[in-house]
Amino acid sequence: MSFNAIILEKDEINGFSHSLKTITKQQLLQQQGDTLVQIHYSSINYKDALALTNKSPVVRQWPMVPGIDGVGTVIESSSDRYQAGDTVILNGWGCGETHWGCLAQYAYLKSDWLIPLPQNITPYQSMIIGTAGYTAALCVKRIVDFGIKPQSGTVLVTGASGGVGSVAVALLSKLGYQVTASTGKLTDKEYLHKLGASNIIDSKQLKQAGKPLQKEQWSAVVDVVGSHTLANVCAQTQYGGIVACCGLAQGMDFPATVAPFILRGVTLAGIDSVMASYDNRIAAWNLLAQYLDDKILAHIGNTIRLDECVDTAHNMIAGKTKGRFVVDVNK
């Protein structure tokens, strides 16, 4: 058996390269795993874009098949958890970093990393959601579990035109929250309003250094940007509010003070989707299955081929994309 996959390579002589290659089953099974999955769809997340463009040291073993997301059919498994014919989802777990991922027609994975495809979500829709949407659900769940209610006030979503932001806006709106979307692409206003945003602001006003404490505006925040943006939204969060932090699009730094936390009781909650527990994954996906309808998913999703992944990644890093990109690995 042989199949197509994107291969990332790097060495001292040739440097970094990417190519679409034919891989054999024997090569694939050299990876550590217990479940062979025929991949139907993958997706491009920000981390995938960083790997595909070599803009950040995401890949830690070479050569590497990128792709932190995948949905497909189990072909064979030595685990009792899944049987041939089951449809499963992968999100994270070091795939595309230290283990061959899902920008390929087959993947050899560990059963502990997989969850069953939820009811009411098709395989294609699951990759419109992908890690970005699943991370958004973890953020929203954290806000809800913290006790923030729709009547508590407006919720801010930064990076709202991106994958995480798009799903966060849609989920929060469906749950009854008033959502303000922050974006650097004001041409996306119609797109964001259709997702449920009631107000849209220019992200430029959050990206510069600001005062340690600012006017209280948000009952909660989903932030994917980091750096000065994260510092500013913490300074603008209402007394007793929460900021769910899950990204670093602007930067990994956090140039802030302790003022919002000790004077307003603001909580900064870090959201990790890569190693989240099985129960948290199931809860997040159930939230998505319950509240994201077909129209919203169709509005967010775009479909590309394997040979379009690198160009899409460059556009994503440059901030020229919106929504989610599903990869049909069989085209």
Q: Tokens 């994107």 — which residue?
A: 6
Count up the domains in the chain and report the number: 2
> How far is the C-alpha of 227 from the C-alpha of 224, rounded, in Å?
10
CB-CB contact of 117 with 88 (8 Å): yes
How confident is the model at residue 207, as a pLDDT? 96
Residues 155 and 264 in one domain: yes
> How far is the C-alpha of 154 from the C-alpha of 149, rounded, in Å?
10
Residue 102, domain extent: 2-117+294-328
Percent share of the chain, pLDDT over 70? 100
How confident is the model at residue 1, as a pLDDT? 86
- Domain-embedded: residue 192: yes
pLDDT by residue (tens digit) across 82-136? 999 999 999 999 999 999 999 999 999 999 999 999 989 999 999 999 999 999 9
Entry pTM? 0.92
Residues 156 and 224 in one domain: yes
- Domain-embedded: residue 126: no
pLDDT by residue (tens digit) across 226-244? 999 999 999 999 999 999 9
Residues 145 and 105 in one domain: no
Residues 230 and 306 in one domain: no
